[in-house]
Amino acid sequence: MDFNLESSTAFFNKSFVPFSEANLSIASSPILYGLSVYTVCSATWNEEQKKLYVFRLKDHFERLKNSARILDFHKFLEEWKYERFESTILELLRKNDVKQDVLIRITVYVDELMAGTRMHDLKNNLSIFVYPMKEIYRPSGINACISSWQRTADNAIPSRAKATGSYVNASLMKNEALLNGYDEALALDQYGHLAEGTVANVFVVKNKCLLTPDDSTDILEGITRDTVIAIADELKINHKQCSIDRTGLYIADEMFLSGSSARIVPILSLDKRPIGDGAAGPITQKIADYYKKIQHGDVPAFQDWLTEL
């Protein structure tokens, strides 16, 4: 039976509750000011082994801590250590009897009413819920555009913090793309260099070399992005982190997105210009296949990335 979000169990206000009861006040800081940070990690069901594997859970916790540190959510940093975090995630998965591919959304937020535009020394809380892994893009590939909206600069809303409020920027891009008949938008930073998609990092293949924007560009340092780089090392694919200009995208041989929700999805065209021959390229496909094997626990070299349930 497919997982039902509405009848599931969530973690909210330090306890496990029915999903329908995990609600915040309309006067709370996350609602009024977007004061929350989050991460999304995947859990993959291996039907043959009858096991569930949570992917890079510790790395997701570390990034959540970094996001909290940037936004001065120090109460969360004081109250939550990895052991408690992991046991809470695994208990939630057990309570929901998960036996399919799912995503786990974990949010840290300022748990105050009418606190104004401040963050320091306020109460923090954590919520977690599980929902089915669905295709957010066509696996065969998508058509993208360069957004007219610029990626928010790190010195305005920090790119390294996965802050909920910053996704207004991404939503404006995605909305524009959909209205214009595209599947996704790619953002440029304030210098005209490629940054990322609305919910995923971007990779470009040119002359058999894998390229992706470096950390000094206004990007979220994605965990799936880091995974792709590790896979490239394993498969002996040349790779480089560097600035990528708009016109460099138009002459790419291959291009793809990477993210926990997006997984690995080919970009077939950009601004109605075909990328390569307009189909998923061989390097994209090789990385996507290997990524899937890792998540299912079929690659011993990457077993330490998996938390088994």
pLDDT tens profile 60-75? 999 999 999 999 999 9
Question: Same domain for 283 and 257?
Answer: yes
156-177 residue pLDDT tens: 999 999 999 999 999 999 999 9
At 298, phi and psi to the nearest 5? -100, 10
Q: Does the residue 95 lie in any domain?
A: yes
Q: Establish if 115 belongs to a structural domain.
A: yes
pLDDT digits (tens, 9 = 90+) for 283-296: 999 999 999 999 99
Residue 305 lies in a domain: no
* Shared domain check, 46 and 22: yes
pLDDT of 265 higher than 90: yes
- Listed residues 82, 103, 132: the one ending a domain: 132
Which tens digits make up the pLDDT trace of 85-114? Answer: 999 999 999 999 999 999 999 999 999 999
Confidence of residue 2 (pLDDT cuts 50, 70, 90): confident
Secondary structure of residue 279 in the 3-state scheme: coil
CATH classification of the domain holding 232 = 3.20.10.10
pLDDT tens-place string over residues 28-82: 999 999 999 999 999 999 999 999 999 999 999 999 999 999 999 999 999 999 9
The predicted pLDDT at position 66 comes to 97
191 lies in the same domain as 270: yes
Are 189 and 217 in contact by the 8 Å Cβ rule? The answer is yes
pLDDT, mean of residues 242-253: 97
What is the band of 119 on the pLDDT scale with cuts at 50, 70, 90?
very high
- Check: pTM over 0.75? Answer yes or no: yes
- CATH number of the structural domain spanning residue 93: 3.30.470.10
Amino acid at 289: D
- Please determine, for residue 230, whether its predicted confidence score (pLDDT) is greater than 80: yes
Share of the chain above pLDDT 70, in %: 100
Residue 303 within a domain:
no
Residue 214 and residue 159 in contact, taking contact as beta carbons nearer than 8 Å: no
198 three-state secondary structure: coil
What is residue 130's three-state secondary structure?
A: strand
Q: Note down the domain range covering 49.
A: 9-132
> At residue 1, does pLDDT exceed 90?
no
Give the number of domains in the chain. Answer: 2
Which residues fall within 8 angstroms of residue 164, CB to CB, at 6 or more apart? 30, 34, 35, 36, 37, 38, 107, 109
Say if residue 46 is in the same domain as residue 175: no
Name the average pLDDT for the chain: 96
Residue 3's pLDDT band (cuts 50, 70, 90): confident
